[in-house]
Structure 1
């Protein structure tokens, strides 16, 4: 049986920086293409690098196992396997969720998700018997962290 994945993006500032750099590579490739009137190897290589980073940026997702919430991130160092019983609370905002767990370095982490992914993720995680956290609907939760 194929596991269901729920795609997410990091908090707003990180997402803006990543996607700005990624689209900067695309525009650089387009500028190189405009410099020549025929197909140009270097512009095609730079375009390939753009597609690589675009696919890499879309490779952030959750997977829910029987005991774990697997947070698959861009860098292998940032990937986490969180025990469902250690999740204390999930705050649900209009465009994001915040998961509070002792297994996160900062105590909680913010994830931007589409409405469809967010609803499916919450329904799926509530079905797990080890999940005992409270789910709070917070319409004031914004997509950026406030310190």
Structure 2
């Protein structure tokens, strides 16, 4: 959760399989560049190109977040910075929360899974539940692994201060 230009961003990562595939592809250019440096005594130009590709992929990998603008939609910003997807908050039937994931179950039956860290997830769910268009339910499921994690959700809901 980061506040930039007055907007609160709640960062997420995709499903675990896509997460592993993307970050593995992101690391390939830097390792190829380092192996080229190891083979030569001078720095070839391809190393700079591969390092630039690594930096671009790294920045795109961290460009995933939620925005709640207050107009009844939830903007899901992902790898494509030119086309953010939107979820209408009133169409969210259920939100299943586990220790590492947030799953949106929409009224048309579609499911969207996002991986989030503990505290951004808590503030995101609090902010989403306080939206007037939200009529769904939030279900905390942990499969009896760590019950103490969910104690932070049992307290009163409060959104992040908008100062």
TM-score by length of 1: 0.87
Match of 1:143 in 2: none
Confirm or deny that 1:113 pairs with 2:116. Answer: yes
Shift of 1:33: 1.6
1:13-54 CA-partner distances (Å, limit 9, x unpaired): 111111111111211111112122233221011011001001
Ranked by relative contact order (alpha carbons within 8 Å, sequence separation 6 or more), the top structure is 1
Indicate how the Cα distance of structure 1 residues 25 and 14 shifts in structure 2: closer, same or farther if over 3 A, else same.
Answer: same
Whether 1:132 aligns to 2:135 is: yes
Provide structure 2 residue ranges, at least 5 long, that are not aligned to the other structure. Answer: 144-163
Matches for 1:1-147 after TM superposition, within 5 Å = 2-66=6-70, 67-75=72-80, 79-102=84-107, 107-140=110-143
Q: What do the CA deviations read for 1:80-119 (whole angstroms, capped 9, x no partner)?
A: 111110111110000111011146xx70111011111111
TM-score, normalising length: structure 2: 0.78
Residue 145 of structure 1 corresponds to: none
Alpha-carbon deviation of 1:134? Answer: 0.3
Larger Rg: 2
- Cα distance in 1 between the residues matched to 2:83 and 2:119: 25
**Equivalences, count:** 139
Task: Name stretches of at least 5 consecutive residues in structure 1 with no aligned partner.
Answer: 141-147
